[in-house]
Amino acid sequence: MEAVKTTKKGAPGGAKRAPLSRLALLLAAAAALSSCAILRAGGNIQAVFLGEEDPAIAEASFPTLIKASELLLSGSPGDPSATLTTASLYVMYASAFVSGPADLLRDEEYEAKAEAAARAGALYRRAFRLLGPRLEARSPGILAALGYESAGAGTAAAPGASAPDAAERLAEAAKAGLARFKKADVGLLYWSAASLLGSFSLDPMSFAASRGLAPAMALLARANELEPGWNAGSIEELYVSVYASLPDYMGGGMAKAEDAFRLAEGYSKGGSASLYVTYATSIAVTKDDYPGFVAALKKALAVDPDDRPESRLPIVLARRRAEVLLTQANRYFLLPEGVEQP
């Protein structure tokens, strides 16, 4: 069936790139952090939760796990492993159980949506407050070099230096700073990027949130350079929604999103239900491709959680999201008469 352009407010219409003023709507439609995908990236202490088959149990227990992790961190302030674990829990809880479910609320439930966005944003910021110092510990001056903080003495331009000279100096500092991160830092890079992107996706028109976009992209690129296919394609899966949500001039674009999808599908061997949900909400919706939307969600439903018990929870959550999205297709597409939703 030929895709029909939508006239719904805030929904994508056709394959043209949306103007920047609509980024917030695009990011919401795309569920930019791909809540189940972020959850799939967890590990270590979170493993028992990722294998949980009942999302209600996991959701109810997650705050307790967060507080226990905070308690351990308070006993070893600055411990890299404890810091990364606690921060990743903030991001996972925010994306899977706060902003993720809110994306599926009806438009008229704007107060609940706003409340969830505020809660999720606070959790993403808490995560980066922990991770920012770890990035600096591994590569002093990296945040200033990436433009997240004001440049210090190490990256500031010399008196009388021209703007191009200053920009070149900053670019060289960023390149050198990113090079200090090694393969063992991929988790730190991923979760730092995810926390910054989470904040941006909730409020892309905010200066405070938007200043994290370029640093997040740089950190994610370095992680991907160090270990392509990390965690069965989690980095590429995150790229799918990010690229689809950003215009070309901001480093995004549909071609990049589709390439990232193909890579992620290969790395996950077709076992990531969240990847197909991400394709449906990020690529198919933006391209106004209703058949592709339905096909991707049906692929998500075909992923059996029993085949991957170590990832049962993210698969169950992604399947539930797919089921709901199939009933809400008319939020994103103007369907011709006679076409029934699955």
In a domain, 8, yes or no: no
- Looking at residue 339, its pLDDT comes to 65
In a domain, 204, yes or no: yes
In a domain, 163, yes or no: no
C-alpha angle 272-115-49 in degrees, rounded to nearest 5: 35
In a domain, 80, yes or no: yes
* Token digits of residue 55: 């999302």
Q: Tell me the CA end-to-end span of the chain in Å, nearest whole number.
A: 14
> Containing domain of residue 191, as a range?
20-138+181-331
In a domain, 147, yes or no: no
- Cβ partners under 8 Å of residue 144, min gap 6: 150, 151, 152, 154, 155, 173
Q: Are 40 and 234 in contact (CB under 8 A)?
A: yes
276-331: per-residue pLDDT in tens? 999 999 999 999 999 999 999 999 999 999 998 888 889 999 999 999 999 999 88
- The tally of domains found in the chain comes to 1
Mean pLDDT of the residues in the chain = 83
The model's pTM = 0.83
In a domain, 149, yes or no: no
Q: What type of residue sits at position 176? A: A
C-alpha angle 238-108-20 in degrees, rounded to nearest 5: 45
Torsion of CA 53, 58, 61, 62, to 10 degrees: 140
Residue 101 maps to which CATH number?
A: 1.25.40.920
In a domain, 1, yes or no: no
In a domain, 14, yes or no: no
C-alpha pair distances (Å), 177 with each of 47, 140, 222, 235, 238? 32, 7, 11, 20, 23
74-132: per-residue pLDDT in tens? 998 889 999 999 999 999 999 999 998 888 888 889 899 999 999 999 999 999 999 99
